[in-house]
Chains A and B, each alone.
Chain A
Amino acid sequence: MQFDSTRPIWLQVMRELEISIVTGERGPGEKLPGGRDLALAYSINPNTAVRVYQELERAGLCETRRGLGTFVTSDTQRITALRSEFAHQTVHDFLQQLQRLGVTREQAAQMILKEE
């Protein structure tokens, strides 16, 4: 994975994992790689990998079970909420780009409906 070195790397890896959770690539309750394996898989510092799991846990997206490892949350509502967060963000970015092009929200809505 190519990182943007001007932004925290833990944030970028966290986003990758979030996307894999939202798309179902990693299902609810699925076991995640251990911290060291995550570090090796992404070629990142082990402390950065630890931070990724701390932040995912804080966001309610994974849980660590002592002695067993880290798992994707089984709370499907939380996953649904994240999906809609991502969707809203995508729409927001999309509208901002169209606004720069001088396209109104109404025109944008029309364009979406017409788009195959």
Chain B
Amino acid sequence: MLESREVTKVFGAKTAVDHVTMKLEKGHVYAMLGPNGSGKTTWMKMAAGLIKPTSGEVLYQGQPVSIASRNEVAYMSTEPYFYTWMTVRDVGKYYQDFFADFSMDRYQALLRRMDLTEELKTKALSSGMMAKLKIAVTMARDARVYMLDEPFNGIDLLARDEIRAAVLEYATSDKLLLLSSHLVEEMEAIADRAVFLLEGRLVENVDLETMRMERGISMADRYRQIYGHTEG
């Protein structure tokens, strides 16, 4: 569904993504893992069509990502992106204007699940509430691909369960979900595949249950194997 062909992104002297070639298929929940600066966010932004690769290409359904594919790819970035005067309701309306696949019903259902009320002003939200709002507004789209960059950051334990439930609810066989996180343990059971990036390069794109069966290790164990020596 998403294919990365020799994708490279250079910012000045730094190569953020370095010849990444991989295929991500629908019907899977992928965990995208790697320490800060390993290229996760840059790769996602290229797949979302927000920035262009220096070389190589990302294909969505066999076509290079474009304005058109943006309608089917829902992306949640780590940066805050709401105007401070907006209420939670305004955020929904704003999204509804932007995306044809945005469902207000679904948004309201997600808000209820996340314990957010529509009257709340975004500037009054705690970081945890803001994180939940970003997820609600992204998942309220009926997209084919959902890419969530650090969905568990700043979110307390109970709210993480709600996010996991929301993710699983929309993880159907015709959709692709890609979640990046430093909180590897949060994704052990909900992801079925993991993509490991190291210094912009793809290390591995693995099936997690097969890895557990054949190597007897968890995703977190594999993370330590790959990055242990780089993080000290």
Which residues of chain A have a CB within 8 Å of any CB of chain B?
A: 3, 5-10, 39-40, 42-48, 51
Contact = CB atoms under 8 A, between A and B. Distances in A.
B136 interface: no
Contacts of A10: 209
Contact of A43 (B28, B161, B172, B213): B161
Given A43-B164, A43-B165, A43-B190, A6 B212 contact: yes
B169 A40 contact: yes
B190 A47 contact: no
Interface string B164-200: 1100110111000000000001001111100000000
Nearest to A50: B173
B148 to A, nearest CB: 15
Given A45-B171, A45-B189, A45-B190, 7 more contacts: A5-B189, A9-B212, A43-B165, A43-B190, A45-B29, A45-B191, A47-B27
A5 B212 contact: yes
A43 B212 contact: no
A43 B167 CA distance: 10
B91 to A, nearest CB: 26
A8 B188 contact: no
A8 B209 contact: yes
A42 B185 CA distance: 15
Contact of A48 (B169, B185, B189, B213): B189
A9 B189 contact: yes
Contacts of B209: 8-10, 48, 51
Contacts of B164: 43
B203 interface: no
Nearest to B207: A47
A48 B212 contact: no
Contacts of A44: 168, 189-190
B218 A43 contact: no
A45 B216 contact: no
